[in-house]
Structure 1
Amino acid sequence: MKYLYTIAFSVFVFFHLAGQGYDKNYQRVSSGDLTVDKNFYLLAVIDKAPEVKSILSDNALLKGFLQKKLNILKAHVTDTCSLPVTLVSDFIWKDDTAALAKELGQVYLANKKAFDKVIDGHLRPSGYYQRFAGMSNSVLLAKAWNQCFYGMDYIVNQYGLGKRMRYPHIDSVSYVVTSRVYRIVLKDIMASLDEVNAGFDVFYKPSLAVAMQLMQANDRDEPARLEPLEKGINKMAFDQIKKTDWKKYRYAVIVLPGAGPSLSTTPVSPDGKIHCDVAARRYLAGDAPFIIPTGGYCYPFQGPYNEAVEMKKYLMEKYDIPASAIIVEPQARHTTTNIRNSIRLMVRYGIPIDGPSLFVTSMSQTKYSAADAFDARNKRELGYVPYTRKKQLSNHVIEFYPMMESLHMDPYDPLDP
């Protein structure tokens, strides 16, 4: 299911000039839940901005939305509702977005200084809203709200109602949502959240809490697994980046996409090994100082292996490539996000993106990725193409230049936003 939200603030005055985007010196805030931060950074920021949080908490109409959700939670503790559609549907925002758009637009205009401080001090420099960097503050904020509402609804639809969303073969709910066991779980979620309802002090928090509980019920913590990467699995490579003389290399990195195994007994699939072999050859030839193996916990469904981690092991064991030359990107779930997420790490780790990098893989995936249809898929699924100046060099190698838009968070993919 895919539908559009229309959160757009109609304003005739108080236009704020478009500001800057990502700032490498910006320190991201933390809500204490990295899955929330990656999917809903606006909400994490609001929770750390007392003035803005107070404005939203004190607004009469928004208080009404909050109270409605709290009443639903409380009612579900004792009522006879037992099916997913009766338990979680009321936490979806779709039918309320028009009223929210109007009210949140007015709230912004009435408290412009406080909101602009949050937008200019956090939303823009974080990079999470990089595609909106050229827009005015009012429009950027409207689009950020839009992403939050859509993102929460996506999670509830997929993990609460069992709808087949964007990538059902690897991302879907783990249980039959109408089964007795899952219906009991959903009912217990309502009771558990009602017990802590005093902490729901802003209108969106009950729906956010329901969404996060549904992800937890399905063991869907992929956005937070292995983090922080630069202090763990990527520490040696992260430290090496600072010592690298980039002028010695034609390319900044070699992006190595995964190919998930179909068997739970196989850490690296047959094609995954080929991917590693061809990437290792280019690294050992001196094309770039780093390899970025990229791929998450995708195949088999809810399987035990992380593609990037297992490829790193393979490269080290078979080719004796040092850990300091391997930057693991363990969250991408598709070829589109293999590239996008690798660029994210390049930017945040300080790797130059003004020059070319390589995408190195099997012949079949190279043919697929070099085609115009792959560009179209990126536009369709991400809303943009994360690379430019794509050029196929051989049966296994594509040259590309990274795009800063890759930093932008994606509410259509809650497991890898």
Structure 2
Amino acid sequence: MKTKLFYILSYIILCVVTSAGQGYNENYRLLSSGDITADKNFYLLTLIDKTPEVKTALVNNHVLTHHLNNKLGILKAHVTDTCSYPGSLLNDFFWEKDSSLLLKELNSVYLKNKEPFDKMINEHLRPSGYYQRFADLSNEVLLTNAWHQCFYGMDYIINQYGLGKKMRYPHIDSVSYVVNSRSYRVVLKDIMASLDEISADLDVFYKPSMAIAMQLMQANDRNEPARLEPLEHGINRPAIEQIRKTDWKKYKYATIVLPGAGPSIEIPLSHEGKIHCDVAARRYLAGDAPFIITSGGYCYPFQSPYNEAVEMKKYLMEKYNIPASAIIVEPHARHTTTNIRNAVRLIIRYGIPTDMPSLFATSMSQTKYAAADSFDARNLRELGYLPYRNKKQLSNHTIAFYPVIDCLHMDPYDPLDP
């Protein structure tokens, strides 16, 4: 009886431990498929390829295999058929019409193979932080939500870079070409032929659609998520080494978050961006915080060769002699919302204290914008949460805030900065 009771209690404890509540682990190291853009957008799929038991369970499912073979057949047919326009070539690779049936089947696969799936979820999905907003959900529900994000993310990319639809941020993120032009139609046909040649490698049901999505991003020169990565081994290495030696008790704020301001013409740094830098430099030189986080991507003008965060770092070093070890570069953010979100991501992942406030330092106009309730509403609308807590405007140029761990969660609505 005692033995039976022990096993019952052990099982209950195991269910509690493996079902919900576990999230980001600072000691976790992200796995890589060799394609950083794919890893950031579809980390679940990267993990499946690295987890043989889970991958085998998916490959051996007859419903999923039928789906895979159907997609591969369509891919092969497009190599020689008369279809040439984006709609006729790409519509069969969307998930929207199949997602309900597939999610039901995927849940069945999970329930029949709980041990390897739970191991992958508990040892990778949860501690990665990429699905942090699902941390309080059971493994079963977390996985379903992660699948849904993958499906939505692929559909988003195909819509934007395949069909040329104006999605979330069309002014800076849209397709680079006229999608119905003859040259782009030739590119799409060539993508089909190229993928057909490696069809043996597209061995899991989701891979044809994912491969097309990645090829479309490549065709549009949209590799922004991978640029300058890995940050910790490159441009941010001096700062990370300094973080380990920092006496945080000497400072009131952990970091100064410096957002970019994209120029309207092709120059490295706009006048407004220089004002932002001047404000942040004054706070740093006054001893408010030991680090400045420059935040901004390759945004303005469209397909700019200049990175806002990198150019701001150069300006700070050249004009104010601020050392590289005091500047953390966040080179992916494309909007004020993600300036803060992405800065918080680095604060958390680099081990900077999260119980200390940080400063958002910028121009008076942007400070007013970010301090307003309407900015909170925009964050809730676009991100689904506030990437800060206890936000408080201190002056015409600064706002104090505390980090929020939900910022680690990847965003399928923003493939250039997920």
| TM-score after normalising by structure 2 | 0.96
After TM superposition, list the pairs within 5 Å mapping 1:319-358 onto structure 2: 319-358=320-359
Task: Name the residue aligned to 1:263.
Answer: 265
Determine if contact 1:15/1:138 at 8 Å carries over to the other structure.
no
After TM superposition, list the pairs within 5 Å mapping 1:292-331 onto structure 2: 292-331=293-332
Q: What letter matches 1:24 in structure 2?
A: E
Name the CA shift for 1:205/1:261 in 2 (closer, same or farther; >3 Å).
same
Determine if contact 1:16/1:138 at 8 Å carries over to the other structure.
no
Task: Name the residue aligned to 1:3.
Answer: none
Query: Runs in 1 of length 4+ with deviation above 3 angstroms?
Result: 13-16
Deviation at 1:19, TM superposition (A): 3.5
Determine if contact 1:21/1:127 at 8 Å carries over to the other structure.
yes
- Secondary structure at 1:327 match in 2: strand
Task: Name the residue aligned to 1:56.
Answer: 58
- Secondary structure at 1:328 match in 2: strand
Q: Greater CA deviation, 209-218 or 21-30? A: 21-30
Q: What letter matches 2:60 in structure 1?
A: D
After TM superposition, list the pairs within 5 Å mapping 1:12-411 onto structure 2: 17-264=19-266, 266-411=267-412
Deviations, residues 233-261 of structure 1 (Å, cap 9, x unaligned):
11111110000000000000000000011
Task: Name the residue aligned to 1:7.
Answer: none
Deviation at 1:186, TM superposition (A): 0.3
Deviation at 1:303, TM superposition (A): 1.0
Task: Name the residue aligned to 1:412.
Answer: 413
Deviations, residues 137-195 of structure 1 (Å, cap 9, x unaligned):
01100000000000000000000000000000000000000000000000000000000
Q: What letter matches 1:236 in structure 2?
A: P
Return the alpha-carbon distance in structure 2 between the equivalents of residues 75 and 15 of structure 1: 48
Q: What letter matches 1:112 in structure 2?
A: K
Name the CA shift for 1:242/1:14 in 2 (closer, same or farther; >3 Å).
closer
| TM-score after normalising by structure 1 | 0.96
- Secondary structure at 2:401 match in 1: strand
- The gaps in structure 2 that reach 5 residues or longer are 1-14
- Secondary structure at 1:292 match in 2: strand
Q: What letter matches 1:405 in structure 2?
A: D
Q: What letter matches 1:82 in structure 2?
A: S
Deviation at 1:354, TM superposition (A): 1.1
- The gaps in structure 1 that reach 5 residues or longer are 1-12
Return the alpha-carbon distance in structure 2 between the equivalents of residues 84 and 15 of structure 1: 47
Q: What letter matches 2:298 in structure 1?
A: Y
Deviations, residues 10-50 of structure 1 (Å, cap 9, x unaligned):
xxx99963131000111111111000100000000000000
Return the alpha-carbon distance in structure 2 between the equivalents of residues 355 and 379 of structure 1: 23
Determine if contact 1:19/1:120 at 8 Å carries over to the other structure.
no
Q: What letter matches 1:167 in structure 2?
A: Y
Determine if contact 2:259/2:336 at 8 Å carries over to the other structure.
yes
Task: Name the residue aligned to 1:6.
Answer: none
Determine if contact 2:18/2:122 at 8 Å carries over to the other structure.
no
Return the alpha-carbon distance in structure 2 between the equivalents of residues 49 and 254 of structure 1: 40
Return the alpha-carbon distance in structure 2 between the equivalents of residues 66 and 383 of structure 1: 33
Return the alpha-carbon distance in structure 1 between the equivalents of residues 310 and 263 of structure 2: 13
When the two chains are superposed, the root-mean-square deviation of aligned CA atoms in Å is 1.1
Deviation at 1:105, TM superposition (A): 1.1
Return the alpha-carbon distance in structure 1 between the equivalents of residues 356 and 317 of structure 2: 27
Question: What's the % identity of the aligned pairs?
Answer: 75
